[in-house]
Amino acid sequence: MTGRGPLLAALEWQLAAGVDEVVGFEPADRFAPPPERKAPAAPPPASRAAAVFARPAAETAAPGPAQDAAGAGDLDALRERLLAFDGCALRKTATTTVFGEGPAGARLMIVGEAPGADEDRQGRPFVGPSGRLLEQMLAAIGLPREDVYIANTVYWRPPGNRTPSAEEVEACRPFINRQIALVAPEVLMLAGGAAAKTLLGTTEGIMRLRGRWSRFGTPDGSIDVMPTFHPAFLLRSPARKRESWRDLLAVKARLESAGS
């Protein structure tokens, strides 16, 4: 190969390996020696006095994610707090924050795993191929997407669509917990094993969890939860749609009985 061929092949190889994000616009010289560290200058007298009378760390520490999220009185406030939150490493590589969308009083809320490439570009959850299938599934039980609140367990796309790490999920957990409590749906549907494990606090796999009603506790009570397969899994394994259909019918029946 000559000219651009080898370069394109190298780029394609990186893409296939999942390296599809630019994390900085300046090249980093990873072989350069570390910069010399200067000894810290002694604090000026005034700041030494301030240090003596400094308040204890617990009082002065910046609020953590739990306080950030729990103090939000509505979804707009929660979004503001999430946008100001930099405690999740995923934020650094993502293009946008995918907060979630839907009516505040939605009767059904769906939580997926993490935004993908399409969601990262548009800043909206479930807008790619999985989203299209999800919309068809909802339509099959008579629910327009616009009536459903949709979010994810993490708010930023993991590079290369990898599974979010335990730390990333934990960093986002106070926000999704609060979001569910604020939407307060009658039924919470968890799409896929990652969302089910995170929000039900279990290590059981989706094959065992799906189709079985569970409860999600909030400060104001608890919500019916139906774990089901992720639409991305159904796109790869269409034969499993039969079980998903049963889960959807169970959700529909629960909403109908709650509404009557």
Residues of this chain that interact with ligand URA (CB under 6 A) are: 112-116, 119, 125-126, 128, 130, 152, 232
CB nearer ligand URA, residue 128 or residue 174: 128
Q: In terms of Cα–Cα distance, which of 235, 87, 221, 240 is closest to 167? A: 87
CB nearer ligand URA, residue 114 or residue 226: 114
Report, in Å, the least distance between residue 221 CB and ligand URA.
26
CB nearer ligand URA, residue 125 or residue 227: 125
Return the residue nearest ligand URA (CB atom): 112
Report, in Å, the least distance between residue 194 CB and ligand URA.
8
Report, in Å, the least distance between residue 114 CB and ligand URA.
6
| Number of Cβ atoms within 10 Å of the Cβ of 137 | 23
CB nearer ligand URA, residue 65 or residue 116: 116
- Distance CA(218)–CA(174), nearest Å, equals 11
Report, in Å, the least distance between residue 115 CB and ligand URA.
5
Q: In terms of Cα–Cα distance, which of 222, 226, 194 is closest to 210? A: 226
- Distance CA(117)–CA(94), nearest Å, equals 9
- Distance CA(70)–CA(78), nearest Å, equals 8
- 232: its two tokens: 């991305």
Report, in Å, the least distance between residue 225 CB and ligand URA.
16
- Distance CA(187)–CA(177), nearest Å, equals 14
CB nearer ligand URA, residue 235 or residue 258: 235
Q: How many CA atoms lie within 13 A of 69 on its CB side?
A: 21
